[in-house]
Amino acid sequence: IAHAAVRINPDVDAGTHQKISTGKSENKFGVDLYQARRWFARSLELDHVRLDGLHVHIGSQILDLEPFRQALARVAGFWHELSEAGHQLASIDVGGGLGVVYRGGHDHPVAAAEYVAVVREALAGFGGRIVLEPGRYLVAEAGILMTRVIRTKQGIDREFLIVDAAMNDLLRPSLYEAWHDIGRVESEAGENATRPAARYDIVGPVCESSDTFASDRELPRCVAGDLLVIRGTGAYGSSMGSTYNSRPLAAEVLVDAGRLAVVRRRQSFEEMVAGEQAATDWITP
């Protein structure tokens, strides 16, 4: 017998970017309570699958506890309803969504202990397994993307800082206008303070205007060869990377307590195209 959980759509606005909102009625994820009731009612007739879990996930990068409270209250109410109807649940997956600091001084994530308290309060008395999915919360701020300035370019009304990283390396800014703090790496302490400030659109070399990491961002004056650090790339960074524009995947380096190791070597052009072949074996349906 296969065990399965039903993902509930609680119709709760997570207060996050529309492209990472997953718990409103217009989102494609989960089913409403009416549909879920029908599924559990029919499940008693099935001998190959057992519905014994609930799941909810209302979105990502959530910086307020209230959406979690609302969603979990609806899940808890349904759990009690199912229990009274004779359905024994083995697990409730409360999803993820805990936000992190992408913009220093602006983003204020909720404390993990406060989030856990909300889960405990909503699911008090539940005797099964409670599953959490705090992926972004665990790894986002542990990763950075290092990129080198190729050149600067003065436009009519703005100055562009062109770097060797691109949207294929970090898609989030292009995909949902995500902010990432960006800084210039000093070659010696205090160097940045000696440079005048400048405002840049920080862009990659890919052939579309969406290849932009930041707009009108203030940095110390930069020149070709300078290193920049793009912060908060540990989640949805390399995992969303691609070889778009025939750009091989970047290397990944793990740093731990003063030591480092390459955990993914830089992809070569030959490796990138290794799976391609000429159309020699034609098939006629």
Q: Which of 115, 237, 213 is nearest to 161 (CA)?
A: 213
The sign one gets for the Cα dihedral 118, 121, 123, 128 is positive
CB atoms within 10 A of CB 60: 25
Helix (H, G, I), strand (E, B) or coil at 247: coil
> Which of the residues 1, 113, 189, 207 is marked catalytic?
207
Is 222 considered catalytic here? Answer: no
Query: Locate tokens 């600091």: which residue?
Result: 101
Helix (H, G, I), strand (E, B) or coil at 50: strand
DSSP letter at 59? B
Q: Which of 252, 101, 272, 102 is nearest to 169 (CA)?
A: 252
CA quadruple 19, 133, 71, 232: dihedral, nearest 10: -40
Active-site residue set: 207
